[in-house]
């Protein structure tokens, strides 16, 4: 019988990760809710494994078997909603979670037997790991709703998230095969080893989340500045970006921008949000798009070169943002300007 403390330790660490992630400002509350829900699913799953193999309680097996169907969607949606408009983000959540819940309910009928559970879970892990990799290929500029200082890290975390789901796919497949071959002892050993791996992954997640959550744990900030200060700070930011052309740097973060301007990062972010109704990433992209529009009008450079010279990491993200801002493609904009 496996050691009981392992899944319980995983349960406690997942709860701690969930609490810390709740204190991280990703730029969008819905994204934070998805990440918290993912760690909550991990915590509940670890607890159910503990009571099943630690105490021999098997009445929760039906819930334990369908719970993994929610892990992939929640993890993927945490990143995906940061690249979508609010209304579309809510539709995405309803669709992905709705499908997972409906599939879980259908599996409870045992229409396809236990093989249906195993196959559905494997397909879910495979699908969402692939979806995360596709999302990663769009680059950090796709995360228009995210805090500018978090976008590079979020972009890296997508790869780790995809790798985590692939690992779960391999582990769950190995466990399912062991049970199918009636090798229960072997399955328990795999669960024990995977619990150790999960503990390590959760510790890394806690350390990472604690670093980004730390500012929220500090004492309350000073009293808010007078009402006219946000507008003045936004004008100063615009003037600085135009004079320095720092927006052309693809690695620009709000932290670097604030340091160059010698102002608090949170004050700068709040000023832009209050005066322009957008986050810093969207704000900086506005300068990049204006620069790109000028190059489209005044040069014969290719659209790919213009995207790169305007601070966009990927051509697809440039096309998407340009279409959103100008309601036409870069090529159509150039043709219209030349025709005029």
- pLDDT tens for residues 221-279? 444 444 448 899 999 999 999 999 999 988 788 878 888 888 888 889 889 989 998 88
- Percent of the chain whose predicted confidence (pLDDT) is above 70: 90
Q: What is the pLDDT of residue 64?
A: 79
Q: What is the pLDDT of residue 2?
A: 45
Rounded distance, CA 66 to CA 53, Å? 17
Residue 1 confidence (pLDDT) above 60: no
Cα separations in angstroms, 179 against 112, 163, 184: 17, 25, 6
Residue 143 confidence (pLDDT) above 90: no
Q: Give pLDDT tens digits for 294-318.
A: 999 999 999 999 999 999 888 888 9
Nearest to residue 130, comparing CAs of 91, 92, 80, 171?
80
User: Mean pLDDT, to the nearest integer, of 138-145?
Assistant: 80
Kindly report the average pLDDT of the chain as a whole number.
85
Q: What is the pLDDT of residue 97?
A: 96
Lowest mean pLDDT among 78-82, 189-193, 282-286: 189-193
Q: Which residue has the higher pLDDT, 184 or 207?
A: 207
Residue 72 confidence (pLDDT) above 60: yes
Q: What is the pLDDT of residue 46?
A: 87
38: Cβ contacts below 8 Å, ≥ 6 apart: 71, 74, 75, 78
Rounded distance, CA 94 to CA 155, Å? 24
Q: What is the pLDDT of residue 310?
A: 92
Pair 197, 163: CB distance under 8 Å: no
Q: Give pLDDT tens digits for 10-64.
A: 899 999 999 999 998 888 899 999 999 999 999 998 888 878 766 667 777 777 7
Rounded distance, CA 206 to CA 209, Å? 5
Helix/strand/coil for 191: helix
pLDDT band at 340 (very low <50, low <70, confident <90, very high): low
- For the chain, how far is it from start to end, CA to CA, in angstroms? 78
Q: What is the pLDDT of residue 213?
A: 67
Q: What is the pLDDT of residue 80?
A: 96
Residue 173 confidence (pLDDT) above 60: yes
Rounded distance, CA 6 to CA 55, Å? 13
Q: Is the pTM of this model over 0.85?
A: no
């Amino acid at each position: 019988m496996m050691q009981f403390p392992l899944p319980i330790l995983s349960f406690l660490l997942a709860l701690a990760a969930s609490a810390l992630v709740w204190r991280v400002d990703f730029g969008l509350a819905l994204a934070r809710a998805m990440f918290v829900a993912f760690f909550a699913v991990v915590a509940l799953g670890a607890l159910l494994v503990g009571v099943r193999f630690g105490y021999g309680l098997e009445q929760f097996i039906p819930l334990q078997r369908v719970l993994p169907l929610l892990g992939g969607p929640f993890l993927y949606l945490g990143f995906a909603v940061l690249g979508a408009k609010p209304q579309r983000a809510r539709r995405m959540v309803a669709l992905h979670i709705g499908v997972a819940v409906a599939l879980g309910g259908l599996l409870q009928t045992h229409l396809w037997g236990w093989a249906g559970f195993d196959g559905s879970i494997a397909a879910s892990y495979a699908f969402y790991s692939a979806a995360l990799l596709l999302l990663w290929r769009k680059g950090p500029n796709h995360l228009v709703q995210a805090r500018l200082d978090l976008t590079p890290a979020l972009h890296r975390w997508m790869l780790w998230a995809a790798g985590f789901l692939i690992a779960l796919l391999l582990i769950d497949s190995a466990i399912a095969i062991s049970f199918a071959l009636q090798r229960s002892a072997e399955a328990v050993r795999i669960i024990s080893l995977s619990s150790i791996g999960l503990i390590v992954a959760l510790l890394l997640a806690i350390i990472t989340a604690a670093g980004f959550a730390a500012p929220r744990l500090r004492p309350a900030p000073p009293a808010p500045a007078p009402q006219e200060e946000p507008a003045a700070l936004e004008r100063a930011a615009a003037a600085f970006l135009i004079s320095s052309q720092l927006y052309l740097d693809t690695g620009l973060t709000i932290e670097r921008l604030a340091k160059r301007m010698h102002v608090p990062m949170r004050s700068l972010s709040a000023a832009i949000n209050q005066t322009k109704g957008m986050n810093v990433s969207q704000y900086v992209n506005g300068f990049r798009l204006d620069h790109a529009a000028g190059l489209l009008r005044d040069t014969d450079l290719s659209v790919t070169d213009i995207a790169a010279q305007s601070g966009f990491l990927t051509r697809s993200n440039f096309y998407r943002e340009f279409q959103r801002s100008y309601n036409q493609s870069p090529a159509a904009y150039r043709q219209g300007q030349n025709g005029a």
